[in-house]
Structure 1
C-alpha cells in the first residue's frame, strides 16, 4: 500500500469538482461569495471522496473485472484500509458541516447514509440505484442553496433538476457499459434486464429532458445564457445520440458517450458560473 493509492481512490478530480460545484451553487443562489463557501467546499469534497472510497470497498469484486487498475483490485489499497478511510472521511465531512448551517448538516448526514446504502445495496437495484446517484449529484447544488437559507434552497431546484436528469442518463449508460462485470458480480441492473439498446434509448429521453430543463434559467439570465447553454446542450445530445443503436457494451464504450456526457456536465458548470457572475 502507498500514498498514491489512497489519493487515487478518492477520485480527487471528481471530488474537488463536486466541492467547486457547491461554491458555484452558492454563487448562483446569492450572486456573491462569502468566506463560508470554503467550508462548504470542504464538506462536499470530503463527503464525495468518502462515497468514492466506500463504493470501491463494496465493488472490489466487480472492479476486478471492469476496472482492474483501481486501487483495491490492483492491491495498492486493502479493503479494510479503504473501509477505515471512508469512515474517517465521512466523519470529517459531517463534522465540518456542523459549522455551516442546520440545512447543510441535514443534507450532509442524509447523503452520507445514502452513499453507504447505495454502495451496499442500492447499486444492485435496477433504476433506483441510478436515481440515488443522480440525486447525490444534484444535491451538490442544494448544498449551495442551503448555506444561503431555505428560500435560496428552493431557488436551486431548477439547476438541481438539470443535474439530476443529465446524471441519470450518464449513470444508465455507465451501467450498460459494465454489464459483463455486473452480471459476473451478481448485480441486477436495468441494462441487464432490458438490454443495452433500450437503456440507451431511455438515457436519450432523460438527456432531452435535461436539455428542456436547461432552458428555465433563461428567464433570469437572458439570451447570453441561452447561447452558452445551447452549446453545452449540443454536446450532451450528441453524446446520448451516439449511444443509440449500440447493442453491446463494447460498442457502447467505443462510442464514448459517457465521457462526452461528463465533459458536457463540466461545461455546464462553467456556463452557470459565468452566468451568475456576469448576467
Structure 2
C-alpha cells in the first residue's frame, strides 16, 4: 500500500480512465479503423501510467524537505520507504514504461515515436530537479504533460491508420482530441497554481519561486479568478456552438451541471480563499472538473447516437 500511495494511484487511475474513455467511449464508437488492438492499447495506457508514476516517485525523492513543511503527515520517502528503494522503483517504472513505448512505436512502424516517451520521462525528471522551482514553468510543464496524454492517443491510434480516403474524417477526430487536450491543459494549469497557493509556506521556506510567492496569495487568487473566468467563457461558447448548435441537449445539461457549475463555484470561492483547507478543496473541485470534462466525450457520443435513432 505504501508504494501505491507513493505513485499517487488515485491520479494514475484517473489518467488510465481518461485514456480508456477516449478509446472506448469515443474512437471505438466511430466507423473508423484504429491502429492498435485492445491489448496494444492497454499497453499504451500502461506505459503512460508507469512513466507518470515514475514522475511522482522522483518528485517525492527530491522534494522531501518541502514536504516536511507542506504535508508532514503524508511523507513516504525516507519514512516508510528508503530513498534507495524509491530510486530503484523509479528506474524500474521508467525503464518499463519507455520499453513498452519502444515496442508500440515499432508495432505502428513509427520507431521515432519512442522519442515521445523518452522526452516525457526526461521532462518529468527535469521538472523534479529544477523546472518546478522556476516561476510558472513547472506549472506549465505539468499541464502540458497531462494534455499530451490525450494527444498521444491520436499519435498511436489515429495517425497510423490514416490514409487519403479517410484523412478528412481522421482530421476532425484529431481536432476533437486537441480540443480536449487544450481543456485539460488550461484547467490543470489553474489547478497547479492553486496547489502552489496551498503550499506557499513550505515553498517559500525552500526558496522556490512560485506565483503566490512572487505576487502574494491575494493577487494570485485574482489571476486564477481571471483564468477561470476565461475558461468558463470558452466552455459557454463551446457548449453553445457545438452542443446546442447540434441539438445535443442532454450533453448541454450534463456540461452545465458537471463542468460549468463547478467552475462557477470555483470562481466564487477563489476570490476570498486564504487557508490551506480552502485551496485544497478548490484543487479537488478542479480535479473533478477535469474528470467530468473528459467523461463528456462519452456523453456527447451517446447523445449523438440517441438522436440518430430518434
**What's the TM-score once normalised by structure 2's chain length?**
0.80
What secondary structure, in the 3-state scheme, does the structure 2 residue paired with 1:216 have?
A: helix
2:219 alignment partner, one of 172, 182, 198: 198
Cα pair 1:40 1:100 within 8 Å, conserved: yes
Return the index of the structure with the highest Cα Rg: 2
Residue in structure 2 matched with residue 166 of structure 1 by the alignment: 187
Superposition pairs of residues 40-189 of structure 1, within 5 angstroms = 40-72=44-76, 75-101=79-105, 102=110, 105-150=114-159, 151=171, 153-189=174-210
**What's the TM-score once normalised by structure 1's chain length?**
0.88
| Aligned residue-pair number | 274
Cα pair 2:54 2:91 within 8 Å, conserved: yes
CA deviation after TM superposition for structure 1 residue 91, in Å = 1.2
Cα pair 2:250 2:303 within 8 Å, conserved: no
Q: Is residue 223 from structure 1 mapped to residue 249 from structure 2 by the alignment?
A: yes
Give structure 1 stretches of 5+ with no counterpart.
none
Query: Over residues 124-165 of structure 1, what are the superposed CA-to-partner deviations in whole Å (9 max), with x where a residue is unaligned?
Result: 111111111111111111121112233454441111111111
Shifted more, 123-132 versus 260-269: the winner is 260-269
Shifted more, 156-165 versus 108-117: the winner is 108-117
Q: Is residue 233 from structure 1 mapped to residue 260 from structure 2 by the alignment?
A: yes
Residue in structure 2 matched with residue 7 of structure 1 by the alignment: 4
Aligned pair in 2 of structure 1 residues 234, 261: CA closer, same or farther (>3 Å)?
Answer: same
CA RMSD of aligned residues (A): 2.4
CA deviation after TM superposition for structure 1 residue 242, in Å = 0.5
Cα pair 2:50 2:94 within 8 Å, conserved: yes
Cα pair 2:194 2:279 within 8 Å, conserved: no
1:137 and 1:240 map into 2 onto residues whose CA distance is: 23
Cα pair 1:163 1:210 within 8 Å, conserved: no
CA deviation after TM superposition for structure 1 residue 209, in Å = 3.1
CA deviation after TM superposition for structure 1 residue 257, in Å = 1.0
Residue in structure 1 matched with residue 270 of structure 2 by the alignment: 243
CA deviation after TM superposition for structure 1 residue 49, in Å = 0.9
1:267 alignment partner, one of 287, 292, 296: 292
What secondary structure, in the 3-state scheme, does the structure 2 residue paired with 1:72 have?
A: coil
Query: Over residues 46-77 of structure 1, what are the superposed CA-to-partner deviations in whole Å (9 max), with x where a residue is unaligned?
Result: 11111111111111111111122334356011
1:138 and 1:212 map into 2 onto residues whose CA distance is: 20
Q: Is residue 207 from structure 1 mapped to residue 228 from structure 2 by the alignment?
A: yes
